[in-house]
Chain A
Amino acid sequence: MHKKSILLIAGLSFAAIGTAHAADLRTQAISATCLSCHGPNGKSGGAIPSLAGLEKGYFVQAMKDFKSGARPATIMKKHAAGYTDAEFEAMGAYFASLK
């Protein structure tokens, strides 16, 4: 095998033994901090909306609109203000993947 292939397989093996790759884990960790309010695995009980399975484009636009004020909000305006567009994209992809 070529060296490149071995590295690729070594990368896969981290997933195989159950430890997520660092970049992926960073996205998961950022997203996990949202779940303190929005519920485990993005499934909420009560008035706070669930995030699990939201379409990515919808999530990203909602966050941008909370940030700009285009969409009326309570607490989400203050939260959205502190995150970057790149983080909205990464979190949106992750929440869309939750079933």
Chain B
Amino acid sequence: MTINRRDFLKVSGAGAATTLITGCASQGGASAMKGNPKVVVVGAGFGGATCAKYIRKWGPNIEVTIVEPNDNFVSCPISNWVLAGMKSMNDITHGYGNLSKHGIKMVKDYVVGVDTGKREVKLKSGSSLSYDRLVLAPGVEVLTDSVGGYKEAEAAGKVVHAWKAGPQTALLRKQLEAMPDGGVFVMSVPTAPYRCPPGPYERACMVASYFKKAKPKSKIILLDGNPDIASKKGLFTWAWNTFYPGMIEYRPNNAPRAVDGNKMIVSTEFDDVKADVMNVVPKQRAGEVCGMAGARNDSGGVWCTVKLDSFESTTVPNVHIIGDSVLSNLPKSGHMATNHAKIAAASIVEMLAGRPPISVPVVANTCYSATSDTTAGYVANVFRFDKEKGYVTQPDGGATGQGDEINLAYAESWAQNIWADALS
């Protein structure tokens, strides 16, 4: 059989029409008839930006719009390094300019409502966007109401969580710089699950690294809401004993109940802890927009449960949730968010073409933590998809017990590459 170019195009056209018809049938929606399928992505962090980019890569006929209120991407990973003085805010801040090269439309706005029946997102500016599929990648909402006195102290600049990298990261660095030698830095760890399990313990290392050089008589009190170090325990215990002996006081089962910005006190169930710098990280839940979509559907109404082959909500059709808002055994990390994004992107492309989700059979998490200004360690795990059990952790993964110089170099390279993968 030979096909000349004209015949090929003719038959291709027929194939495309067939695809559209099956697409309509399985969606049961009229919107696909109006033209190209539309995806709206809420949030341009690790998850959202990556998902938008890979949907365009794998489904160039799909119109993708991102709604993001911020001008720039500020990376949570590596933000602890800013506290150590190893990196600047500029190093962790990146523009969204390159996303338009992939045909992604950026809308600087804030979502104020989601009508999952009409498949429409309402924006603060008053306009709205319709979608065939909606991707929610808002990260976490930090529940500052859960700690007494927090909102007042935060407004006065006396306490920060700095658990969303940005102005609070810069403020915390300034407060640490202004603290006298011999001062006390009090930070807290929320009860799991929370964004970035090793993050608080890495932060303790990074602040200790700065203190060791600049103000060695200072002390760190780490109030942990958990019964033990929640991630990379061996690595952090090794780092604290090796590099910062006597500097970090670790108190498990010590969730802060209240803060007092005037007296500079963090209160737990047991006592009042006097601080020079307060870094209390409250508990979290799935981002606000997940609530608007009715997708905070775990038993506590806090996190979102999803079908792990597509990251579509288990209860709200056509709404996919990726990143830290998802409750699953996959860790809440920026790296994992980018891999949620890729699984969701592949499945969304398939589903919009009227085919079943793709069920990516294997996915991995990688997470580096700096342990000093010259060393880092990591945790890595591979997860395989099982229809009944979801992503199952494979044997032989896990964390390093010590940090070293090569892994600090890899950590830095990881950051450059994941930022580029999401944004360039």
A interface residues (Cβ-Cβ under 8 A, vs B): 1, 5-6, 9-10, 12-14, 16-20, 22, 25-26, 28-30, 32-40, 44-48, 74-75, 77-79, 81-83, 87
Give the size of the chain B interface in residues (CB under 8 angstroms): 59
Interface of chain A: mostly helix, strand, loop or mixed: helix
Residues of A with C-beta under 8 A to B236:
none
Taken together as a complex, chains A and B put the C-alpha atoms of A67 and B362 apart, in Å, by 16
Q: Does A38 contact B362, Cβ atoms closer than 8 Å?
A: no
Given A18-B61, A20-B58, A26-B346, also A33-B339 (CB < 8 A): yes
Q: Does B12 contact A17, Cβ atoms closer than 8 Å?
A: yes
Q: Does B380 contact A75, Cβ atoms closer than 8 Å?
A: yes
Segment from B156-164, B198-206, B251-259, B392-400 that makes contact with A: B392-400
Report B162 CB to chain A, min CB distance, Å.
24
Verify if B24 is at the interface (C-beta below 8 Å from A). no
A-B residue pairs in contact (CB < 8 Å), sample of 26? A6-B11, A9-B3, A18-B59, A19-B19, A19-B59, A26-B361, A32-B342, A33-B342, A33-B362, A33-B363, A37-B366, A37-B417, A39-B421, A40-B417, A45-B420, A46-B417, A48-B413, A75-B407, A78-B380, A78-B398, A79-B364, A81-B396, A82-B397, A83-B362, A87-B361, A87-B362
Q: Does B394 contact A82, Cβ atoms closer than 8 Å?
A: yes
Verify if B238 is at the interface (C-beta below 8 Å from A). no
Interface of chain B: mostly helix, strand, loop or mixed: helix
Residues of B with C-beta under 8 A to A48:
410, 413-414, 417
| Nearest B residue (CB) for A32 | B342
Q: Please give me the 6 A-B residue pairs with the lowest Cβ-Cβ distance, nearest first.
A: A82-B382, A13-B15, A46-B413, A81-B396, A39-B417, A82-B394
Residues of B with C-beta under 8 A to A40:
417, 420-421, 424
Residues of A with C-beta under 8 A to B143:
none
Taken together as a complex, chains A and B put the C-alpha atoms of A30 and B414 apart, in Å, by 18
Residues of B with C-beta under 8 A to A46:
409, 412-413, 416-417
Q: Does A75 contact B410, Cβ atoms closer than 8 Å?
A: yes
Residues of A with C-beta under 8 A to B395:
81
Report B360 CB to chain A, min CB distance, Å.
5
Report A56 CB to chain B, min CB distance, Å.
19
Verify if B384 is at the interface (C-beta below 8 Å from A). yes
Partner pick for B1 among A1, A20, A34, A78, CB 8 A cutoff: A1
Verify if B355 is at the interface (C-beta below 8 Å from A). yes
Taken together as a complex, chains A and B put the C-alpha atoms of A8 and B335 apart, in Å, by 39
Q: Does A47 contact B3, Cβ atoms closer than 8 Å?
A: no
Report A27 CB to chain B, min CB distance, Å.
10
| Nearest B residue (CB) for A4 | B1
Partner pick for A36 among B15, B358, B421, CB 8 A cutoff: B421
Report B47 CB to chain A, min CB distance, Å.
11
Partner pick for B11 among A13, A36, A82, CB 8 A cutoff: A13
Report A40 CB to chain B, min CB distance, Å.
5
Q: Does A36 contact B366, Cβ atoms closer than 8 Å?
A: yes
If A16-B8, A29-B360 are given as contacts, then 14 extra A-B residue pairs at C-beta distance below 8 Å, sorted by A number, are A12-B8, A13-B16, A18-B59, A19-B19, A19-B349, A19-B353, A26-B358, A30-B361, A32-B54, A37-B335, A37-B413, A74-B378, A74-B406, A81-B382
Residues of B with C-beta under 8 A to A16:
8, 12, 15-16
